A = this chain, B = another copy of it.
């Protein structure tokens, strides 16, 4: 618990501690401020103060600052005219949106503000709707494992809550100590447990959301099966707050595993990593819970930036696979793991490896993977790409990008949720460098598109990627998305300038 609290603290303080404060300097795509959207005035402020009590309406720049910039200080509102509202009930959210819709005031729904694509901060003077004060658990059913809670509940708190009853949240992220379940749902957060428990499109059973005009859509079912009409809740999952504000969530939590094992394996080439993955599925079957990938460059960054005194393995290898098992019987799990290791080490697929001997060692091995992102940030500037690719192309892009930007002084690392075909391609420089940026974009997105990958695997589109959406979605699909947006938010007040590209 301590480690993740510490990590959370780092997320929280990111805005202050970063050495690289700049506002969307490479965001060549941000549209001009939409003149049809109004600017809030003192009458609006009075209305909200009456509705929410004055202490829940922030307008002083010092108070609003943490809400108008992301934790990596990459995306920052381009205006000092800011307002943050902190509703406590769905009725208040509804009243706020109804009022804003009438007044043409735009709104940015915000959870823990841990996103990486600028989706949760204002671009100009949009009003921030912070969900932090809606943080109550509504119910938990110990038989079915269904949790119902408000959107502002912090993911780690929910995990601790259901842990008392022998359950766990079906998702886990590095930002768990700060991110909120409403934000997780709105961005369709992926993370470490997706391989085993699937995406939020499957585990979220119900949603209460408020539409742009204040209409409350109550789809807060607690039933695993509910085929009654169109599954409207799916529209809100992953739409990044542009179609409605998620106010409550009902989610299926799986039984908490009593046994957990972690093994770090070294491979000579990426083809061997793929073989290790296939063998893990065969040998570990139902207890396999994570298959993470790191290249040697990723590990070197961690060793150079964090408190790691020594490499957990004796030999240095170019590729590493981190395998996690979670099960209900430690004896069985260990037997399966041993059979798997015998298989992959006997056949030479894996050339070196270590298995954590206790929970503390397991956590330490896993932190090696989790610390890559933080180590990169503390080293300097990071160009982050979160893509999905077929596994036979998964590492090729890392090599190609390395060939291109190494001469420019950049370091390239590849890591990610290999079991989900999700690669985090990160490029590190001491300072932001336009030349490196121009070499990366649109190259990375176009390369990904060529192999029918996804240009945003789990981080979303936000303000970073609308101009590249067409590389993962067809024109007809984007047209339909626009029509859905127009239908549900005709005035465009919800999270403007995000997700959908400018119409040409």
A residues sitting closer than 8 Å to B (CB atoms) are: 141-145, 166, 187-188, 190, 194, 198-199, 201-203, 211, 215-219, 221-232, 234-235, 237-239, 243, 255, 257, 274, 277-278, 281-287, 326-329, 332, 335-336, 388-392, 417, 420-422, 452-461, 465, 469, 472-474, 476-478, 480-481, 483-485, 487-488, 499-500
Contacts and interface: CB of A to CB of B under 8 A. Distances in A.
Given A143-B277, A215-B476, A458 B229 contact: no
A328 B456 contact: no
B477 A218 contact: yes
Contacts of A222: 390, 452
Contacts of A476: 215-218
Contacts of A469: 228-229
A314 to B, nearest CB: 29
Contacts of A277: 143
Contact of A477 (B188, B219, B457, B460): B219
Contacts of A284: 328
Query: Which of A221, A285, A477 has its CB near the most chain B CB atoms (within 10 A)?
Result: A285
Nearest to A234: B234
A168 to B, nearest CB: 12
Nearest to A225: B457
Contacts of A223: 388-389, 421-422, 453-454, 457
10 contacts: A144-B421, A198-B202, A201-B234, A224-B420, A225-B417, A226-B456, A227-B456, A227-B460, A228-B472, A285-B329
A257 B281 CA distance: 11
A231 B230 contact: no
Among A257, A278, A286, the one with the most B-chain Cβ atoms within 10 Å of its Cβ is A286
Main secondary structure, interface of A, reads loop
A286 B229 contact: no
B143 A228 contact: no
Given A188-B227, A201-B202, A226-B454, 19 more contacts: A141-B391, A144-B421, A202-B203, A216-B476, A219-B473, A221-B454, A223-B454, A225-B388, A225-B422, A225-B454, A227-B454, A227-B457, A228-B469, A229-B477, A230-B243, A230-B484, A232-B477, A232-B481, A282-B328
A388 B473 contact: no
Nearest to A392: B143
B390 A141 contact: yes
A215 B459 CA distance: 29
Contacts of A255: 281-282, 285
A62 to B, nearest CB: 33
A396 to B, nearest CB: 15
A370 to B, nearest CB: 18
Nearest to A420: B224
Given A332-B332, A476-B217, A456 B228 contact: yes
